[in-house]
Amino acid sequence: MRRRIATRYTVIVARTGRAPFSVSFRPVWVFLGVALLLGWGGVTAYLYQRHLLAQEALARLESLSREARDLTLKLEAERDRNEALSVEAAAMLERLGALEDELDRLRERAGLPEPQSTPTSEQSPGANNQGGGQALPDAEVLLETVRGRMDQLARSLNQEVAPALQETLAREAARPRGLPIRAEYYISSGFGVRRNPFGKGYEFHDGLDIAAWYGVPIYATAPGTVVTAGWSRIFGNYVVIDHGYGYRTLYGHMSRIRVKRGQRVERGQRIGDVGSTGRSSGPHVHYTVFRNGKPVDPRDYLDPVQQAER
């Protein structure tokens, strides 16, 4: 005998102190409810998973955004740094050019030969890229190149140019310059062959006779050391100064000597007074310039203004 499937289910609900009640429903609703619960659970689980994925994506996006902001700040800082370095490099390049020009003038002044050519800023490392187009050098590379060149200039100045220049300046300072008289004067006898003022015939006069008033100050024409301060039959009271580098000067016929042997004197320092001692015909100073032991014409050692008055 075939069993019949129930077409309805009844659920009786008992309540304390109250009459029970019953709920009847067909089996199809049970299956439908279960299906709905399962479907809703699946949808809920799916949506929750999507929510987690979305949250993770948002967190990653925020992290990437922070990284992008940090990178942007770093790039801006690097750009500002490069701009500052570029400005510094440009200033140093300009200063470098001025220093090189000045060093060349000092080299020429010191009598040194021109240095071997060195790479310029256009030839320095990093100035050109290797692929066709020309690119500006990296600021740091250029700056280091300029600093290196400045160091080379400093070494050249200290080790080569400065000593040579000091030697040149010392040699030039030792060269007698001008006349030993600053007051009113005139040249009473020049350098070279002249008629003997004290006898017959001619004689070689190895200096200038500079006539001036008695007692007028006589000044050294270059720095040096007094090697003679005394008396001779020809020059009377006289002084000889050794200036170094082969230069010596003699000042004769003084009325008074104001320096001593071995004393160091400077150019323009008073060393005596005009007089007429020794073989003299009147107040004047006999002035001789010696170059490597030989007398030379003092007029070749005059100041430019005195040269024009010759």
- The CATH number linked to 221 is 2.70.70.10
The dihedral region occupied by 284, where left means phi > 0, alpha psi between -120 and 50, and beta the remainder, is beta
Q: Which of 153-162, 198-207, 247-256 has the lowest mean pLDDT?
A: 153-162
Asked whether the predicted pLDDT for residue 25 surpasses 90, the reply is no
* Same-domain status, 201 and 295: yes
Strand partners, 238: 230
Contact status, residue 150 vs residue 103, Cβ threshold 8 Å: no
Q: At what angle do helices 27-110 and 162-174 cross, to 10 degrees?
A: 30
**What are the tokens at 71?**
């990178």
pLDDT at 135 (0 to 100): 45
Distance between CA atoms of 23 and 147, rounded to whole angstroms? 99
Look at residue 68 in the predicted model and tell me its pLDDT. Answer: 67
* 4 found inside a domain: no
Structure token digits, residue 287: 């002035």
Residue 68 lies in a domain: no
Query: Do 158 and 150 meet the contact criterion of CB atoms below 8 Å apart?
Result: no
Which whole number is the average pLDDT over 149-175?
A: 82
Residue 92 binned pLDDT confidence (cut-offs 50, 70, 90): confident
Residue 245 domain-assigned (yes or no): yes
Domain membership of residue 228 (yes or no) is yes
Judge if 235 and 290 occupy the same domain: yes
Q: Longest Cα pair distance anywhere in the chain, in angstroms?
A: 188
Give yes or no for a contact between 10 and 26, defined as CB atoms under 8 angstroms apart: no
Compute the average pLDDT of residues 46-68: 69
Of 46-55, 77-86, 173-182, minimum mean pLDDT range: 46-55
Note if the pTM is more than 0.75: no
69 found inside a domain? no
What number is the average pLDDT over the span 139-149?
A: 76
56-65, 85-94, 185-194 — which is least confidently predicted? Answer: 56-65
185 CB-side CA count, 13 A: 26
> What's the mean pLDDT in 29-34?
65
- According to DSSP, the β-strands at 202-205 and 217-219 are unpaired
- Cβ 146 vs Cβ 88: under 8 Å: no
* Averaged pLDDT, 78-86: 72
Average pLDDT of span 31-58: 68
Predicted pLDDT at 134: 45
Whether residues 164 and 261 fall in one domain = no
pLDDT tens sequence across 113-134: 877 655 544 444 444 444 444 4
- What the block records as the tokens of 302 is 């005059």
Q: Is residue 6 part of a domain?
A: no
48 found inside a domain: no
* Beta-bridge partner residues of 285: 210
pLDDT for 168 equals: 84
pLDDT beyond 80 at 35: no
Asked if 220 and 110 sit in the same domain, the reply is no
Q: Are residues 294 and 247 in the same domain?
A: yes
Is residue 104 located within the same domain as residue 200? no
Give the end of a domain, one of 113, 144, 174: 174
Spatial neighbors of 182 by CB under 8 A, at least 6 apart, are 217, 219
Collect all residues with Cβ–Cβ distance below 8 Å to 156 and sequence separation of at least 6: 103, 115
Whether residues 192 and 302 share a domain: the answer is yes
**Average pLDDT value for residue range 181-201:** 89
Question: What is the rounded CA–CA span in Å between residue 50 and residue 36?
Answer: 21
- Count of residues making up the chain: 310
Helical (H) or strand (E) element with 290: strand 284-291
The verdict on 305 and 264 lying in the same domain is yes
- Using 50, 70 and 90 to split pLDDT, how confident is the model at 60? low
Of the candidates 31, 27, 24, the one whose C-alpha atom is nearest the C-alpha of residue 10 is 24
Quick check: is 76 in a domain? no
Please check whether residues 111 and 197 belong to one and the same domain. no
- My answer on whether 190 and 121 are in the same domain is no
Domain that holds residue 116: 88-125+135-174
pLDDT for 155: 80
Domain count, the chain: 2
What whole-number percentage of the chain has pLDDT above 70?
A: 68
234 and 284 share a domain? yes
For the cut 60, the answer to whether the pLDDT of residue 307 exceeds it is no
Residue 117 per-residue DSSP state: P
Interatomic CA distance for residues 133 and 131, integer angstroms: 6
Please check whether residues 154 and 92 belong to one and the same domain.
yes
**Long-range contacts of residues 90-94, Cβ cutoff 8 Å, at least 24 apart:** 92/143, 92/146, 92/147, 92/150, 93/121, 93/142, 93/146
